[in-house]
């Protein structure tokens, strides 16, 4: 438009901005007005926007999606498991249950390890202390090991300082930090006792300052309940991944609150997400009975872990320290151990008598703990390899 010659008809006061300018005729709802060139251009683009229907926008989005898929497909020159054929196979995996922690008659819905690699907090208890929350769906240990955070149907996330004095009432020292408008599904401290990241059934995630309870950043974008989150393991990174009932996994920038990458290949709710130890990829577990690996650098799904005989949803996933093994707990009461690189199942672990709802590898990778609706937690150790 700028290099068209502008035929001056009239010089006078613009009908819109009233500035003294060269004017041109403009028609608005069949009425002739005189606008300056600036106002005329603004009107033209506004008109364009108004004429954009929901349908035309949707079709633009669809065509962009198609183009994005095309671009990504160009880089899809090989499958991970094909390249991994040269990697030595793992052989038979034998794992033993080393500790069975019987709860206080409650389903175990969540658990977390303390950084000291020994202590565990779960929705039913911490050490011998019964958790003071009525229906806890999420819990986390503070990095210092001196406090725990938990929440659930109360829509809040509260922090409790830990005390080993059994006479002290834990509930009395409770500090409400996060407030959502629906259930709390996940919570995690950042690398400090001072900030908590939460995910909620209200479709959002949020970052909170523990001391003041102030909301530092909120994350909007999921189209349904957010069920899980995991912080990137990097020393310098400020990102985390979340998964939800909209079948999407989204990677967020904690500073800006923006979604930086999104993945939508699952066919149902994503119950669990966990970063691969290098931080370059993450795994997800879903109600569609599969687990998947997404790589951030390739910006796509790079592996899918499934079997014809696995028809129940995966509720919780975690990697072993090297990222070679993916442990996944399922609603069919079992834990399947996957070879991340080759895509094959290494082992199936029985033992629980109801759904496995939560599973975490210990901070130094020496063991992993699973929690179940059968009221127990089981700590299992590293395998002895038999060929």
Q: Site for another protein (CB under 8 A): which residue of 10, 17, 68, 171? A: 68
The answer to whether residue 3 forms part of the interface with another protein (CB under 8 A) is no
Alpha carbons 200 and 183: distance in angstroms, whole number: 6
Does residue number 154 form part of the binding site for another protein (CB under 8 A)? no
Q: Which of 281, 283, 314, 359 forms a contact with another protein (CB under 8 A)? A: 281
28 is a site residue for another protein (CB under 8 A)? no
- CA dist list (Å): 102 to 36, 124, 297: 79, 9, 42
Please pick, from the candidates 37, 298, 344, 351, the single residue that binds another protein as defined by CB under 8 A. 298
Count interface residues toward another protein (CB under 8 A): 113
Per-residue tokens: 207: 């970052």
* Range in contact with another protein (rule: CB under 8 A) among 12-20, 24-32, 155-163, 208-216: 208-216
- Candidate list 178, 210, 251, 273; residue touching another protein; CB under 8 A: 210
Nearest to 154 by CA among 174, 172, 127, 168: 174
Question: Of 318, 379, 324, 323, nearest to 346 (Cα)?
Answer: 324
How many CB atoms within 10 Å of residue 211? 12
Strand partners, 25: 34
Measured CA to CA, the distance from residue 301 to residue 372 in angstroms comes to 29
Strands, sheet with 136-141, edge to edge from the N-terminal-most edge strand: 136-141, 147-152, 156-161, 175-179
Q: Which helix (H) or strand (E) holds 205?
A: strand 204-209
Listed in order, strand segments (DSSP E) in 83-167 are 92-94, 97-102, 111-113, 120-122, 125-126, 129-130, 136-141, 147-152, 156-161
Contact pick of 276, 282, 305, 338 for another protein (by CB under 8 A): 276
**108-147 residues near another protein, rule: CB under 8 A:** 117-118, 135, 137
Which of 1, 54, 128, 172 is in the footprint of another protein by CB under 8 A? 54
Report the site for another protein in 300-359 (rule: CB under 8 A).
300, 302, 307-309, 311-313, 320-325, 332-334, 340-341, 348, 350, 353-354
Answer for which of 17, 87, 94, 146 binds another protein (CB under 8 A) is 87
Residue 1 structure tokens: 């438009």
Residues of span 254-273 touching another protein by CB under 8 A: 255, 259, 261-262, 267-269
x/- mask, another protein, residues 363-382, rule CB under 8 A, reads -xxxxx----xx----x-xx
């Amino acid at each position: 438009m700028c290099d068209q010659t502008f035929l001056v008809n009239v010089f006078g006061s613009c009908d819109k901005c009233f500035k003294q300018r060269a004017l041109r005729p403009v028609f608005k709802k069949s009425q002739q007005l005189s606008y300056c060139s600036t106002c005329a251009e603004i009107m033209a683009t506004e008109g364009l926007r108004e004429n954009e229907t929901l349908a035309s926008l949707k079709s633009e989005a669809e065509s962009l999606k198609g183009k994005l898929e095309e671009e990504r497909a160009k880089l899809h020159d090989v499958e991970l498991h094909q390249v991994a054929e040269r990697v030595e196979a793992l052989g038979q995996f034998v794992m033993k249950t080393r500790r069975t922690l019987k709860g206080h008659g409650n389903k175990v819905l969540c658990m977390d390890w303390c950084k000291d690699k020994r202590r565990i907090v779960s929705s039913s208890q911490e050490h011998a202390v019964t958790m003071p929350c009525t229906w806890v769906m999420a819990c986390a240990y503070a990095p210092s090991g001196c406090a725990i955070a938990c929440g659930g149907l109360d829509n809040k996330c509260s922090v409790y300082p830990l005390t080993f004095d059994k006479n002290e009432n834990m509930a009395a020292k409770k500090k409400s930090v996060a407030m959502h408008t629906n259930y709390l599904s996940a919570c995690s401290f950042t690398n400090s006792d001072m900030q908590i990241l939460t995910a909620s059934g209200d479709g959002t995630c949020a970052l909170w300052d523990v001391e003041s309870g102030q909301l530092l950043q909120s994350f909007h974008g999921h189209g349904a309940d957010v069920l899980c989150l995991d912080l990137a393991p990097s020393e310098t990174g400020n990102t985390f991944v979340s998964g939800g009932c909209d079948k999407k996994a989204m990677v967020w920038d904690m500073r800006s609150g923006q979604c930086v990458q999104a993945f939508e290949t699952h066919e149902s709710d994503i119950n669990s997400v966990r970063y691969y130890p290098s931080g370059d990829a993450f795994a997800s577990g879903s109600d569609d009975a599969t687990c998947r690996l997404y790589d951030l650098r390739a910006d796509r799904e790079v592996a899918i872990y499934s079997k014809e005989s696995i028809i129940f949803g995966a509720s919780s996933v975690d990697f072993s320290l090297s990222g070679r093994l993916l442990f996944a707990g399922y609603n069919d009461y079992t834990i399947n151990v996957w070879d991340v690189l080759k895509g094959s199942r290494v082992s199936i672990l029985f033992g629980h008598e109801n759904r496995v709802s939560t599973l975490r590898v210990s901070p130094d990778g020496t063991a992993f703990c699973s929690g179940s609706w059968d009221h127990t937690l089981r700590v299992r150790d590293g395998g002895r390899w038999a060929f």
